[in-house]
Structure 1
Amino acid sequence: MDLNLRKAILSNVSDHNQEQLEATIVDAIQNGEEKMLPGLGVLFEMIWKEASEDEKQEMLQTLETSLHQQQA
């Protein structure tokens, strides 16, 4: 069986509006379930591909700051 996880995830959210996308993201983060991580990864990949270089730098700075705060 050929399962393309990316396609399945995108198919599940392709008709979502902004409110529904936000609810999906918030739910995945709040539940903290490992099975939700691939979906968040696919959504992040979409954001990354569409982001400008400045937006990518901002995301990287945010990630770096967040990681350093986790270590404190």
Structure 2
Amino acid sequence: MNLNLRNAIIHNVSGNNQQQLEDTIVDAIHRGEEKMLPGLGVLFEVIWQHADEQEKQMMLQTLEDGLNKTQ
């Protein structure tokens, strides 16, 4: 991913409150547009970078469980 895109995405949501961030995430998921995926990826990257090991394990478990349910 182009670093400029990553920075632009972070800049666009910096300063947003929790409700605005949730609205951004929900909107991206509901639209289901491929062009929204990089933005969600950048948001996940920020979450991952600031999570402790327990939170990372919880996210991985949630991801694994969710993927198993889609099969």
Q: Confirm or deny a common fold (TM above 0.5).
A: yes
SS in 2 for 1:8: helix
**Other-structure match for 1:68:** 68
Consecutive unaligned residues in structure 2, runs of 5 or more: none
TM-score where L is the length of structure 2: 0.93
Aligned-residue offset at 1:3: 6.6
Give the % identical residues. 70
AA partner of residue 4 (structure 1): N
Q: How does 1:1-72 map to 2 (within 5 A)?
A: 4-71=4-71
Separation in structure 1 between the aligned mates of residue 3 and residue 52 of structure 2, nearest angstrom: 31
TM-score where L is the length of structure 1: 0.91
Runs of 4 or more above 6 Å deviation:
none
- Report which structure shows greater RCO (CA 8 Å, sep ≥6): 2
SS in 2 for 1:4: helix
SS in 1 for 2:47: helix
SS in 2 for 1:63: helix
Distance 1:68 1:3, change over 3 A: closer
Give the number of the structure whose alpha-carbon radius of gyration is greater: 1
CA offsets 1:4-37 (integer angstroms, 9 cap, x no match): 1100101111121111001000000011110000
Consecutive unaligned residues in structure 1, runs of 5 or more: none
